Amino acid sequence: MTASTDLREALALNEYDESYKGRLFQISQEQFRTLGKRSKWILPVYVAFNWITIFAIVRVYFYLNNLWVYPLFLFLIAGRQGAFLNLAHEMVHRTWEASERLTDFVGKWFCCSAIGMDYKGYHAVHVQHHLYTNQEMDPPSDREKYKVVDLKKLQFWLLFLKDLSGLTALQVFLAYFNKNKEKAQSDFQPRSLKNSPLAKLFSLAVPNLFIFLVIFRGSLWHYAVLWLFPACSIHMFLMRVRGLGEHGLGLQLGVPDLMTKKGQGLLYTRSTLWYKNGIFGLLEKLSIASVGVNYHHEHHLFPSVPFHNLPKLHRLVRDTVVQYNPRVYADSYFKSAFFPPKV
């Protein structure tokens, strides 16, 4: 049995133990403390910057007032909508040095609600995603994005058509108000006004009313074509590309027992080093890979490490990671989705 095989088995058997994995990757306790150090200001600055960037993108589009640049601005806006999800992801992992109440408040009102997401529901399913990465009990909202990886199958292309047509967004929106889904995610939480459909609708309406009145200056047309349409179409398309890039590797390689064998999913999460892909990589950074989400393998290895420390973590673990699976590292989300590695 090779050293890389030993390491793979050791990681799989101890997939939730960060201190054990730290020893496997020869990360000292001092290094681990540094990597896990949270910041009081980095995450809120990123949240504010994302709002300001959206405002600036819309102002530039108003100034240009040219339909020829509309497709580019669709992707720019969708990328900022994806950034809201990535920022909420950091809130869920408690990587901000703030109280849980403040973290959840910002995650809900300044990130998730703006793009029609339920922060509490996302929190619940994301914990499950880390427990059952790439496995049968991975939440449907995650597994659905990478469940079909074969480009020869019609279903692969129909799923992208479903995203671009808005049907995926409609499905997500209806699930947002699904009482049975809510009960499944929070069996020990009594129903209350806070969980009522009216309260959920209110949480969506307030941030979007601000976006409509302040960012789009009350223009219903521009709000529809520059916010609602990319949120319901391009954003969903990009999230599927991201899901395939981050979690499609094992199925693309035909790994046996990926869905059932403990720890296999952890070994086949994929990181995307977008900066190796020139201008196209920069476009992926803007549209998909914001807030350090491209270091996805490192994140699944050490979920407590804040996004701003993931590049440091990457430099510490990459040589060891390459020993047990060099295909973990790719240079493009789109290449990973549409040009899968050969078995």
pLDDT by residue (tens digit) across 34-61?
Answer: 999 999 999 999 999 999 999 999 999 9
φ, ψ for residue 285 (rounded to 5)? Answer: -60, -45
Is 50 part of any domain? yes
pLDDT by residue (tens digit) across 217-242?
Answer: 999 999 999 999 999 999 999 999 99
CA distance 299 to 310: 7
Indicate the angle between helix axes 3-13 and 310-324, nearest 10 degrees: 120
3-class state of residue 329 by DSSP:
strand
The answer for residues whose C-beta is within 8 angstroms of residue 91's C-beta and 6 or more apart is 43, 103, 104, 106, 107, 111, 119
Is 343 part of any domain? no
- Considering the entire predicted model, what is its pTM? 0.90
Is 231 part of any domain? yes
Q: Using the 8-state DSSP alphabet, how is residue 343 labeled?
A: -
Is 120 part of any domain? yes
For 200-266, give the DSSP string. Answer: HHHHHHHHHHHIIIIISTT-HHHHIIIIIHHHHTHHHHHHHHHHHHHH-HHHHTT-TTTTTSTTHHH
Is 206 part of any domain? yes
For 113-142, give the DSSP string. Answer: GGGT--HHHHHHHHHHHHHTTTSTTS-HHH
Total domain count, the chain? 1
Element (H, E) at 330: strand 329-330
pLDDT value of residue 137: 86
Q: Is the pLDDT of residue 281 over 70?
A: yes
Confidence of residue 194 (pLDDT cuts 50, 70, 90): low
Strands (E), 28-167: none
Q: How far is CA 244 from CA 97, 138, 142, 233, 252, in A?
A: 31, 14, 10, 17, 9
pLDDT value of residue 5: 59
Element (H, E) at 105: helix 100-107
pLDDT value of residue 200: 79
Domain ranges, residue 330:
3-336
CA distance 200 to 136: 29
Long-range contacts of 191-200 (CB under 8 A, 24+ apart): 200/118, 200/176
Q: Is the pLDDT of residue 190 over 60?
A: no
pLDDT by residue (tens digit) across 92-125?
Answer: 999 999 999 999 999 999 999 999 988 988 998 8
Confidence of residue 16 (pLDDT cuts 50, 70, 90): confident
Higher pLDDT, 264 or 179: 264
Cα dihedral 158, 161, 162, 167, rounded to 10, equals: -150
CA distance 36 to 299: 12
Is 341 part of any domain? no
Is 60 part of any domain? yes
Is 37 part of any domain? yes
pLDDT value of residue 180: 45
pLDDT value of residue 90: 97
pLDDT value of residue 9: 72
